[in-house]
A and B are shown apart, each in its own frame.
Chain A
């Protein structure tokens, strides 16, 4: 081993299993079981990143998920370049490649570090103040420059080749956090037989038992006990144990989101393995055992590589067998850092001095440190760390001022105390309460069926933790309906704590030397480069709410969500405001607890699986004919059918002319279809549509308009009455689901006395429109049992019979103005009937046509499309459809709404036709219309173009428009101002072809 900081005999990894890896192009050796962080530290590498704003050199602060500094880019291949991975979380695998971020040209020499020298420019809220003048510089200079420098890491530039799994799970007791508390709770719950899920974010369970060398449970080392307990839980059928699984969000009704990292730790994960798995768990009871996070000390240059949390140094030593230095200093305001000094000293590392802010603390750990010969300084502060790319010294001063002393060190281990991890509790909408004595927020009022145990509940000491957690686990199981309701645990026994460590207290806020009036860089938030001075400045500049302080300084707003910084920031703000901490209040905790990949949220819902694709029965035929498709909602619809050498324009022109000269076939299957059946079907139709229906003969059709209660057009379509008690209703393609919802709503809640059933039949019937002078000749040879003469089957009628031997509902109707039919056949026969009709059609020179030609042909006839020519503010009168409103009716949905004063007033926008003065100019849909193009800007707009096409049949452009008072403007010249000049138009009627409607029977 050339990893010179690995201490033989220390840690739990097997030295035999080496793994090589590279960092910034340099190769290193680590051990299987390492994190990238422990492997780098074993090689003496502390400098791993540059900070976000000042580009200051940074090392590892922690050994876990709270890490703010050590963010790296993990590169597996060209498509897998994951930025902002915490090196303290990333497990090492053989061949791992990592790069540092936010530096150029190199980590040790970074040009961006000039920001550190120019830092007065970048004080709190600088982005609100600095880039304001001159105004014109924002777009051309500031924004591009800022965009180029902002952000950490490089986004991958290829589609993510990995796949992500998703699972729903239900359980009785969900235990979040797998330290001593979580394990004890899970054991107690599992022993009652209820379904238990235990999840922990780390690869191995144990939590702080990873570093607490003084813990012994059931006669074993604490960590060994944890492994044995996990093995026992895994063997139980009612327990699911999830490692590498982070609970990131706690939602309503005990719905918890977890992400399991399935293969990020593997050298070459097989294709069958998902990268991550999203667990969406619904639990009857949740036990929160999320522990506590150590805080750093806030002093000058506390961000130098080598300055880290005391518990992190212990973890690296006791779990990974790595010394974080050879000559370390300790700076603390509570007992827990002493244990780090003791462990390191026992492992042969020199501890230069312990600096303790407290005046005269006493206790076993202090005695033990002293007995090991470690120098202890009470009532003193570290006022500055020396060194740049690595800490080289600490400057010590009596806390109330006095002579300075510089002590050479290569690492500083610090502890300001522990912050209970109340993130998930707070996300559950629980209210935290401030414990004045321990100076920490702990769970107060619960909002959901959960309970907090151990360090996250402010419970100190291993024995108290295990007692509390075991009882809570058993109670949760009973509350969830566990079998053992007597309180006696039959199979198991409460774990017995033989030896434990305990500490509490500590300090919040800036340490001496970084207090009010100082300008040193004493970092509160490492990831966003927020110093104690910045917090105070924000308060002085008027930010008195902690939420404002947070946003102004960005404290706690980085990807680490302020896990180490929030309490310090709050304390400094409170001190500056002169208010007690609870009165200033905590910022809101929000999901996710740690960053969650988009991949895990999206899961399989991407590409073809993002949204269902709906295809009609003739899709394959159309595709084989070379049709170009367009998306209409989820449907793929044939747009036009180009022949060789045709562009869209030529194809549509040919299709339009052919339909009016001979015939055309069009797939109208996507139209919504609803069958309205029952003794009261006609009554129901009377109430839902403006038209009269009672007297419509079976076998006849009518164009129906549906309004909302406010009187505006909601949908339209042709309705055929098949029998006295049976209507075949068609709706717009996009409107089918909402029309069904609207009908059901009225039927179930307003008109429940009506005996009617509604059935969506959109997908049951394929619809083939055959339109044009030859339409009847094409259909007739294939039909059985239907007399197709004009007398027997006039325009707007429907018959049931057979076509090509299969059942049909044959509608005589037209959306082109030509003699037309819509052949409904069961969808399974759609393609076969289409092909038969196509074969007949070929004899008569018919064309297949797509949605574009359908649009042009209907516009030539002035037929509206709801949603294109109407926009939810158009009444039947506005659309020129008064004739479709039953004048004698006393009730229908919208009858009162459309009589509202504003809806019957003069000057409303009405649908009219427009002809451009230059027939070759095609207007843009959506273009605005004015009366006087010479008026000053902003001009008064009196309407807009709703539909506009080139009409080959008319030899000119045609358009429909909504124009104020439109029907009184026939023949008027109006203007459409466009970027390239103003277009003159004439207001006309809406019908451009066959105004008398003779072609319907032509």
Chain B
């Protein structure tokens, strides 16, 4: 069972308290009704599924209930870091070798 650091509670809590909520940094278009079919497909259906570092959303659903962002390595399953919702994708990752 993984330990995940909630950036709002500021502590590591067991995985059971959290729920994954898909890829992060995919903003809903402000004028979504006017999106083309292709753009809507990219926004809603296409996800990156990388081997290695992924930016994803998690929710501390059985804790503070906040959504936040996490950087995880899909190969080692290790969390590189977590940060609050709305914060930009970190420019530099701590201890990242890739």
Question: Which residues on A are within 8 Å of B, measured CB to CB?
Answer: 251-253, 255, 280, 282, 429, 447, 709-710, 741, 744-745, 748-750, 752, 890-891, 895-897, 899-901
Contact = CB atoms under 8 A, between A and B. Distances in A.
Q: Which 10 A-B pairs have the closest CB atoms?
A: A896-B32, A748-B67, A750-B28, A895-B33, A253-B3, A255-B1, A749-B67, A252-B2, A749-B85, A896-B40
Interface string B24-45: 0001100111010100100010
A252 B78 CA distance: 8
A897 B40 CA distance: 8
A251 B1 contact: yes
Contacts of A891: 31-33
27 contacts: A252-B1, A253-B2, A280-B1, A429-B76, A447-B76, A709-B28, A709-B44, A741-B61, A744-B59, A744-B65, A744-B67, A748-B67, A748-B85, A749-B67, A750-B27, A750-B28, A752-B85, A891-B31, A891-B33, A895-B32, A895-B33, A896-B32, A896-B40, A899-B33, A900-B37, A900-B40, A901-B37
Contacts of A710: 44
B57 A749 contact: yes
Nearest to A737: B61
Secondary structure of the A contact surface, majority rule? mixed
Contacts of B33: 890-891, 895-896, 899
Nearest to B3: A253
A499 B19 CA distance: 56
Given A253-B2, A745-B21, A896 B67 contact: no
Contacts of A748: 66-67, 85
Nearest to A253: B3
B86 interface: yes
A170 to B, nearest CB: 11
Nearest to B28: A750
Nearest to A750: B28
B77 interface: yes
Secondary structure of the B contact surface, majority rule? loop
Nearest to A251: B1
Given A255-B1, A895-B33, A897-B44, 12 more contacts: A251-B1, A252-B1, A280-B1, A745-B59, A748-B67, A748-B85, A749-B85, A752-B85, A890-B31, A890-B33, A891-B33, A896-B32
Contacts of A447: 76
Nearest to B12: A253
Nearest to A902: B37
Contacts of B21: 745
A899 B36 CA distance: 10
A891 B59 CA distance: 25
Contacts of A897: 40, 44
A937 to B, nearest CB: 35
Interface of B: 1-3, 19, 21, 27-28, 31-33, 35, 37, 40, 44, 57, 59, 61, 65-67, 76-78, 85-86
A252 B77 contact: yes
Nearest to B1: A255
Contacts of B37: 900-901
A429 B76 CA distance: 9
Contacts of B86: 749, 752
Given A745-B21, A748-B66, A748-B85, A282 B32 contact: no
A481 to B, nearest CB: 15
A749 B57 CA distance: 10
A745 B2 contact: no
A258 to B, nearest CB: 14
A280 B3 CA distance: 13
Select the residue from A255, A709, A749, A890 with max chain B CB neighbours within 10 A. Answer: A749
A282 B86 CA distance: 32
Contacts of B61: 741
Nearest to B40: A896
A42 to B, nearest CB: 44
Nearest to B39: A896
A896 B77 CA distance: 35
Nearest to B15: A252
A252 B15 CA distance: 11
Contacts of B85: 748-749, 752
B35 A896 contact: yes
Contacts of A895: 32-33
Nearest to A890: B33
A601 to B, nearest CB: 14
A901 B38 CA distance: 11
A253 B27 CA distance: 32
Select the residue from A429, A891, A896 with max chain B CB neighbours within 10 A. Answer: A896
Nearest to A447: B76
Contacts of A282: 3
A749 B1 CA distance: 27
B50 to A, nearest CB: 19
Contacts of A280: 1
B33 to A, nearest CB: 5
Nearest to B67: A748
Contacts of A429: 76
A743 to B, nearest CB: 11
Contacts of A741: 19, 59, 61
Contacts of B67: 744-745, 748-749
A745 B21 CA distance: 9
Nearest to B30: A891
A710 B35 CA distance: 13
Nearest to B86: A752
A7 to B, nearest CB: 49
A255 B67 CA distance: 25
A790 B37 CA distance: 48
A136 to B, nearest CB: 44
Contacts of B19: 741
A891 B28 CA distance: 11
A752 B31 CA distance: 17
A701 B32 CA distance: 28
A280 B14 CA distance: 12
A251 B16 CA distance: 14
Contacts of B66: 748
A749 B37 CA distance: 24
B18 to A, nearest CB: 12
A891 B32 CA distance: 7
A881 to B, nearest CB: 19
Nearest to B36: A896
B30 to A, nearest CB: 9
Contacts of A752: 85-86
Contacts of B65: 744
Contacts of B28: 709, 750
A741 B21 CA distance: 10
B76 to A, nearest CB: 7
A577 B75 CA distance: 31
A895 B1 CA distance: 39
B95 to A, nearest CB: 14
A204 B2 CA distance: 33
Nearest to B27: A750
Contacts of A252: 1-2, 77-78
Contacts of B40: 896-897, 900
Nearest to B65: A744
B73 to A, nearest CB: 12
A900 B3 CA distance: 41
A447 to B, nearest CB: 7
A742 to B, nearest CB: 11
Nearest to B22: A745
A676 to B, nearest CB: 16
Contacts of A900: 37, 40
A282 B28 CA distance: 39
Contacts of A896: 32-33, 35, 40
A429 B3 CA distance: 17
Select the residue from B57, B67, B76 with max chain A CB neighbours within 10 A. Answer: B67
Select the residue from B19, B27, B85 with max chain A CB neighbours within 10 A. Answer: B85
B19 to A, nearest CB: 8
